[in-house]
Amino acid sequence: MNRKGVPTLRDLHELPLLDGPRHGASMREVAERANVAISSVSRVLSGHPDVSRPMRERVMEAVRELEYEPHFLAQSLRRGATLSVGMVINDISNPVQAEVALGAESALRAAGYSMMLMNSENDPALDAAHIRFLRSRRVDGMLLSFVSDRAEQTVEQLRQLDRPVVVIDREPPADVGASTVLVDHAAGMNQAVAHLLELGHRRIGLVAGPADVRPGYARIDAMYAAVARGRAGARAFHLSGPFTPQFGEAATHELLDDADPPTAILAGSNLILIGCLRAIERRGVRVGRDLSLVACDDVPLAELYSPPLSVIRRDTIELGRTAAKQLLRRLGDDTGPERTLLPTTFIPRSSTVPPAQPADAKAQP
């Protein structure tokens, strides 16, 4: 039960399963099993304060024995809460996004909330449509990792919300009143670029994500700033596009076709990394010998690739968990918007080495 004594969804999850078909006990049967009045059962299930502990325990024991399922939707609507949270993410097929959702759902489930997950398939119009749908379902709050920070239809929907919202690694306008859980992309990028400069690299390329979404522009800005603070004569350049293997492959070919190609490349997402590796393999370029490569997420591919890839690591499960806990605080205490910044760390591995001769990095397909 929650702090107000109201049974939560977790109480229902802990009820035993029946071996045969469910027949559905009634509140009257619960009252008879507990040897109390129906009104007493109602008070227990609605969290009424005027109920003794022995009475509450007796009723809940009867609920478990009879597998009684209270109509929590009706009760929740009377209380003005549905014990449900809506979550919108931009691409469920992305393993990193799936881990964010996993972290959020585990924290919400532990607090007795269910989570309704919506996938926007990298389409800003779906972000706006999902927010409208979740409002119509009267969810208590929302967790949002939308496609673009600057999509007008999404911002307009945010301004119309009348319930707590936590935005995950996005920068919504201040007037929407949303809490935010952000990733400190600059910290890991600074460490990665400093490492590459120390190895002797002077031409560093970034295959970045979209320039209108925070992970994309935060990594771009951080790379240029880190190179500017580094050794004189170092050059940084980037290509920006969608978080897809197709863009990663095309952009890597374009970078390596430059008259003065980079000796080190940073892949701006786990999906972009797949495309980068495709292009590198097709050109016969050897990672860790001809070209240094850094990945922006410590996915299994990064560690299992030969040689293992240096990475900028963030805890994506903790990102979702922190966002959910932030939302739960707002739901429980009616606190105002919060802003949390989670760290990134650079992990050097065998894929980053001193630069090879320029001719080696110009191998053709």
Same topology between domain 9-79 and domain 185-314+347-362: no
The predicted pLDDT at position 364 comes to 47
**What does each of the 365 residues of the chain score in pLDDT, given as a tens digit?**
444 444 444 444 444 433 333 446 788 888 899 999 888 887 787 666 678 888 888 888 988 888 876 655 555 555 567 789 999 999 999 999 999 999 999 999 998 899 999 999 999 999 999 999 999 888 999 999 999 988 999 999 999 998 999 999 999 998 888 999 999 999 999 999 999 999 999 999 999 999 999 999 999 999 999 999 987 789 999 999 999 999 999 999 999 999 999 999 999 999 999 999 999 999 999 999 999 999 999 999 999 999 999 999 999 999 999 999 999 999 887 678 999 999 999 999 999 999 986 544 444 44
**Segments making up each domain of the chain, as ranges:** 9-79, 84-183+316-341, 185-314+347-362
The predicted pLDDT at position 233 comes to 87
The predicted pLDDT at position 332 comes to 83
Q: What topology is assigned to 185-314+347-362 in CATH?
A: Rossmann fold (3.40.50)
The predicted pLDDT at position 359 comes to 43
DSSP 45-104: HTT-SS--HHHHHHHHHHHHHHT----HHHHHHHHT--SEEEEEES-TTSHHHHHHHHHH
- Phi/psi of residue 293, nearest 5 degrees: -140, 135
The predicted pLDDT at position 184 comes to 98
pTM of the model: 0.78
Q: Where are the beta strands (DSSP E) in the chain?
A: 84-89, 114-119, 141-145, 165-168, 179-183, 203-208, 235-240, 264-267, 292-295, 310-313, 339-342, 345-347
The predicted pLDDT at position 64 comes to 86
Q: What CATH code would you report for 84-183+316-341?
A: 3.40.50.2300
Judged by DSSP in three states, 118 sits in strand
Task: Select the CATH number that applies to the domain covering 9-79 from these four: 2.40.170.20, 3.40.50.2300, 1.10.260.40, 3.90.1170.50.
Answer: 1.10.260.40
